[in-house]
Structure 1
Amino acid sequence: MGQKVLWLFVVWSCFFLFKGQSVKAGCPIVMTPSRVVVKYGDPLTVNCSSTIDQVESLGWESNVKGTPATNAHHVLLNIEKVDEWELESECFFNFKNGSQCIEQLPIIIYKPPDSVSIVADKPMEELKEYTLQCIVSNVGPLYKMTVIWYKGDTKIEQQKLAYTAGPPPYNQTQSSFIKLTLDKHDHGRKIVCEAKFDFEEIGFNIPPVRSAPLDLQVLYRPIFEETKVEMIEVPPNGEIILNCTAQGNPMPNYFWQVPQASEQAVGHQPVLRLQGASTGTYNCTASNSQGFSTKQFILTDAPRDYTVLAAVVGVPAALGVLLLLSGPFIVTKEGTFSLGKGSQVI
C-alpha cells in the first residue's frame, strides 16, 4: 500500500511539472530583495535571477505591471508608483525542457498616518478618572499598527489598533483610548501617543509618528510644602515674617486671622511682615475653586538673657550686702570713719 502511494505522488509531481506548475522548494530563483515592505505611493524595484543555466526565458507577472518573458540571466520588476493596496507579483522561469517554475514575491504595503493627535478634556480635576483618545488618521494596514502612550518619558500603555472584518484595513482612521486618574503631581506634565508599525519581526524598522504633546492641566486644592504648625519666637525688635505660600491650581487666594492684640494690616498676601508682632496664634487660609487648606503659626516671646539681667540686678545687691556687713560709715576730709564698734578706715 505504501509503495502504491509513493508511486502516485511521483506520477502527479511529474504531471504538474510538465503542465507548467512548480514545486517552490525546487525553484532555482533568487529575488533581491527576497521580500518587500514598500510605502504606498513609492516606487518598487526587485531583481529576479536563476541559479542554473537551463533557463530559456524569465519574467514577472503582476496585477499592476509585469515584465514580459525575456532571454536573459535576470529580469527586473519595476513599478514607478505603488498605488494599489492589493499588489501581487511573481517571478517565473521557462526551462528549455518546457517546464516552468514560479516564485511569489512577499509584499507588504504600508501608509504612515496623516496625523496622530490626542483629544482630552481640559482642565482635569485631581483624583477623577478621565478618558484620553489618540486618533490615528488614514493609516494602513491597521493590523500592523500599535499605539504607545507616554507620560513624560515613561511608557504607560501599549495597544494594538482594533480591526474587525469589514472595510479593508487600508487608509483607515482608528483610535486608541486610555483611562487616567491624575493628581497634583501630574499638573504640567506632558502626555504623548505614538503610532508605530510592527515590522521588526521581518527586520524592517519604520520610524514612529508622534502626536503633539498634551500639557496636563490638573485642578487641585492648595497644598503647603510644610503643613505642620510652626512655633516662632518673637525677637526683641518684634520684626518677623510669616510665609504662607501654597501650591494650587487655580492660583490660591489668602486670608489671615491674627490675634486681637495685633494692630497690623494683614491684607490678602501669602507673606505677612510684622513690626512689633504680638504673641498668639496666626491662621492663614489658602483657597481656590477646589477647596482650601489652613496653616497655623504660633508666636511666643523669646526667652530673656539672664546673664545681662544678673549683671544689672546683682551689682547693686552685692553692694547692699557689703554695707550691711561692714556697718555704716562716714566720709570726712580727715578720712573715712566706720560707725561700727572700734573701727576706723583711713
Structure 2
Amino acid sequence: SFPIIIVLFSLLSQLHGVNTSCPLELSPPRVVVKYGDPVTISCMTWKRDHDGMGWEAPQGGKSISNVTSSNWTVDSLTEWDMSPICFFASHYKGCTITPGLVLYKTISIRSSGDLKEGEETVFTCDIVDVAPLQNLSVTWFKGDTIIHRETFNDSTKEPVSQSSILQFTPTREDSGSTITCEARLDLGPVGPDLKVSSEEYAVTVFYPPSQIVELEDSEIEVGSDVWLKCSSVGNPRPKYSWTYYRTGNVEEESEDGVSRLIISNATAYNGGSYTCRASNVKGSVYKTVVVTVNGKQQETRSVFIKICLLREIQ
C-alpha cells in the first residue's frame, strides 16, 4: 500500500480557573490562535483605587498604574507554553487571572503515492503536541460521509503526539471524491470546543480501460458510408489504435474519449476485420468486429485477387 500522510496540527491547551472575587475581567477570556499569528487580550477592572495592574508573561508583559485596563499583545505567537497572567495590585488585596489560550498549527496534506483501484492505501493523520489527549477525537470523511472515527483514552496531561490511521481501498467510483481528516479537542464547559479540519484530499483513482462498448459488426452496401465507434473508460483516459486493411477512403478521429473510424463511399476493399485497442499505463483491452460490404465490386475484388494469385504461380 502507499501511505498518504496528512500532517494535521499542533495544539496546546492552557485553561485556568477564574477567581470570582478578583475585580478583573478578560476580553476575550479564552482565545484560539493560529501558530505565528498576533494575539491581543484585554484585562479590565472596575476598581480605581489600586497600586497598579498589568501582565506577567515572557512576551508582552508590562505593569502600569492609574488605569482600569491593560492589553497583552504579541505580534507573532509561537511559544507553546505561554501562560500570560493579568495581575491587580492593591494595598488591600491583590489577585491574578489567567486567560484560556489555545495555540494550533495549520493543516496540510501530503501524498506519497497514487491511489490504485482495489489496492489498499493508508492515510495517516498526525497530531503533534496535543493535550489533554483524552479530550481528542479524530473523524475521517469521504465527502460529507463519516467513514471512520477514533478517540483516545490516554490520561496524560502533557502535550504528546498521536496518529490516526485510515485504511482505504478505492474503487473507480471514488474518483472525484474527497478525503478529510477532522480533529476535535473538547475541553468541556470551561474551554472552547476546538475543531480543525485538514484541506480536502482530492481522490484520483487510476484503473485500466473497461471493456470496449459501442463497437459492433456492420453490413453495408458498396458506395455507402459507415462509422465504427470505439469507447472505453479508464484513468488515465485511454488512447486508441486501430488495426485494419488500410485504404484511402478510411479516416480516424478521436474526441471526448471516443475514437471513430469513418469509411466513406465503401468499396469491396473495406470489407474485413477491424480491431480497436484502448490502452493506458494500467493496461489495455481490444475488440474485433467484421465489416461486410455487399455489391458488385465484391466480385471485382475477388477476380482481381485470383488474377494476382495466378500471376504469382506462373
Same fold flag (TM > 0.5): yes
Counterpart residue identity of residue 199, structure 2:
R
For residues 133 and 158 of structure 1, the distance between their equivalents in structure 2, rounded to whole angstroms, comes to: 12
Structure 2 counterpart of 1:118: 111
- Equivalent in the alignment of 1:34: 29
The higher relative CO (CA closer than 8 Å, separation ≥ 6) is in: 2
5+ long unaligned stretches in structure 2: 1-16, 253-258, 296-314
Deviation sequence 1:264-317 (CA, Å, 0-9, x none): 5489x7626372359998564536563535354575869xxxxxxxxxxxxxxx
Whose helix proportion is higher, 1 or 2?
Answer: 1
Q: Over aligned residue pairs, what C-alpha RMSD do you find?
A: 4.9
Q: Distance in 1 between matches of 2:74 and 2:246?
A: 83
- Measured in 1, the distance between the counterparts of 2:207 and 2:165 equals 25
Q: What does residue 206 of structure 2 align with?
A: 218
Deviations 1:173-198 (A, max 9, x none): 96754413222x56xx5566556675
Query: What secondary structure, in the 3-state scheme, does the structure 2 residue paired with 1:181 have?
Result: coil
Which shows bigger deviation, 83-92 or 239-248?
239-248
Q: Which residue of 1 aligns with 2:228?
A: 242
Q: In the alignment, is the contact (CA less than 8 A) between 1:241 and 1:272 conserved in 2?
A: yes
Residues in 1 aligned to 2:59 and 2:19: alpha-carbon distance in whole angstroms: 23
Corresponding residue of 1:59: 54
- Of 169, 182, 188, the residue aligned with 1:180 is 169
1:105 aligns with 2:99: yes
- Distance in 2 separating the partners of 1:161 and 1:84: 29
- Contact kept, 8 Å, 2:31 with 2:101, in 1: the verdict is yes
Q: Given the superposition, is the C-alpha separation of residues 93 and 234 from structure 1 closer, same or farther in structure 2, using an over 3 Å criterion?
A: same
In structure 2, which of residues 253, 263, 278 is the aligned counterpart of residue 273 of structure 1? Answer: 263
**Could you tell me which residue of structure 1 aligns to residue 119 of structure 2?**
129
Render the CA deviation track for 1:299-338: whole Å, top value 9, x for unaligned: 5869xxxxxxxxxxxxxxxxxxxxxxxxxxxxxxxxxxxx
Q: If the length of structure 1 is used for normalisation, what is the TM-score?
A: 0.53
Q: Is the 8 A contact 1:36 1:108 kept in 2?
A: yes
**Contact conserved, 1:116 with 1:134, CA < 8 A, in 2?**
no
- 2-side partners of 1:110 and 1:84: how far apart? 11
Query: How far did 1:234 drift?
Result: 1.8
In 2, the alpha carbon distance for the partners of 1:167 and 1:53 equals 39
**Gap change, CA 1:83 and 1:245, over 3 Å in 2:** closer
Q: Which has the higher strand share?
A: 2
Greater Cα offset, 275-284 or 217-226: 275-284
Does the CA-based 8 Å contact 1:278-1:299 persist in structure 2?
no
Distance 1:67 1:160 in 2: 45
TM-score after normalising by structure 2: 0.57
Q: 2:123–2:165: 8 Å Cα contact kept in structure 1? A: yes
**Partner of residue 315, structure 1:** none
| Match of residue 5 from structure 1 | none
Higher CA-based Rg: 1
Give the structure 1 partner of residue 69 of structure 2. Answer: 74
Q: Which amino acid aligns with 1:224?
A: I
Deviations 1:16-43 (A, max 9, x none): xxxxxx9823333221222222233444
Equivalent residues of 1:117, 1:135 under 8 A apart: no
The amino acid across from 1:286 in the alignment is R
Which secondary structure does the structure 2 equivalent of 1:221 belong to?
Answer: coil
Cα displacement (A) at 1:210: 3.2
Distance 1:23 1:100, change over 3 A: farther
1:37–1:107 contact (8 Å) kept in structure 2? yes
Contact 2:25 2:45 in 1 (8 A): yes
Per mean C-alpha deviation after superposition, the further-off stretch among 70-79 and 155-164 is 155-164
Matched length = 257
1:286 alignment partner, one of 266, 277, 292: 277
What is the one-letter code of the residue matched to 2:229?
A: N
CA contact (8 A) 2:267 2:293 kept: no
Q: Which runs of 5+ in 1 are unaligned?
A: 1-21, 257-263, 303-346
Tell me the distance in 1 between the aligned counterparts of 2:144 and 2:200.
14
Distance 1:246 1:82, change over 3 A: closer
Q: Distance in 2 between matches of 1:283 and 1:277?
A: 14
Instruction: Give the distance between the partners of 2:84 and 2:171, measured in 1 at CA.
Output: 52
Deviation of 1:48 after TM superposition, in Å, equals 1.3
Q: Answer yes or no: is the 8 Å Cα contact 2:221–2:294 preserved in 1.
A: yes
Q: CA deviation at 1:106?
A: 0.8
Change in CA separation of 1:254 and 1:147 when aligned onto 2, cut-off 3 Å:
farther
Task: Report the counterpart of residue 320 of structure 1 in structure 2.
Answer: none
> In structure 1, how many angstroms separate the alpha carbons of the residues matched to 2:157 and 2:263?
71
Rate the CA distance shift 1:76–1:276 in 2: closer, same or farther, 3 A: closer
Shift of 1:108: 1.0
Q: Contact 1:148 / 1:155 at 8 angstroms: preserved in 2?
A: no
Deviation of the 1:242 alpha carbon: 2.9
